[in-house]
Amino acid sequence: TQLLEQSPQFLSIQEGENLTVYCNSSSVFSSLQWYRQEPGEGPVLLVTVVTGGEVKKLKRLTFQFGDARKDSSLHITAAQTGDTGLYLCAGAKSSGNTGKLIFGQGTTLQVKP
Amino acid sequence: NAGVTQTPKFQVLKTGQSMTLQCAQDMNHNSMYWYRQDPGMGLRLIYYSASEGTTDKGEVPNGYNVSRLNKREFSLRLESAAPSQTSVYFCASLHSVWQETQYFGPGTRLLVL
């Protein structure tokens, strides 16, 4: 059962374009994280959002956590070829305190020069 | 400070063979996790160890066993490999279940023929 649905699963755009990746669930999460993964490497954390409605910016990347803490989005402004990679969202449940994360399927982003 | 290390980087097995994937972290983290990553599936949790001396099943534990050898090391064992276990395996660690950033190793690519 995939509790976190990411869309789109694949995105191919030209350098300079804007894009948004969505991460949706029917479950409430205590926090939601976004990771970026390069080929042949493990995921690396980009940001964690904790509060409903929270917006965080990381240079050209803007992350938002839904008011109900069930969904999140990642917006990239003026994409660059260096943004190419796999983007993963992951949700943490508040119960159990195990540190477990539930991952979405991932969005493969290809930015063409 | 090497972070999270995994060995081997790549392995080919025949159906029915056994092997152990090794993971070690030098960040004095309490919690460790094993995931598998398959195309279009994101990362799925196999087993985790919230603290030294404890292990618990994740989402897809069948066919695997784990050992938390000490605080640093967490191994994943395939007793009788099957082609369905062909995947990329990632180990991750977390300082404590009250924190949120998981640090991932570089992965082990396993092919079962």
Tell me how close the Cα of A14 comes to any Cα of chain B, in angstroms.
Answer: 23
Whether residue A1 has pLDDT greater than 60: no
Q: What is the mean pLDDT of residues A48-69?
A: 94
A32, containing H or E segment: strand A31-37
Q: How confident is the model at residue A30 (pLDDT cuts 50, 70, 90)?
A: confident
Contacts of residue B21, Cβ cutoff 8 Å, sequence gap at least 6: B6, B7, B8, B34, B75, B76, B77, B78, B89, B91, B108, B110
pLDDT of residue B42: 87
pLDDT of residue A98: 72
Cβ–Cβ gap B101/A45 under 8 Å: yes
Its sign, for the CA torsion B17, B79, B39, A44, is: negative
Q: What is the mean pLDDT of residues A25-49?
A: 91
pLDDT of residue B97: 62
Tell me how close the Cα of A80 comes to any Cα of chain B, in angstroms.
Answer: 24
Say which of A31, A88, A98 has its CB closest to residue B100: A31
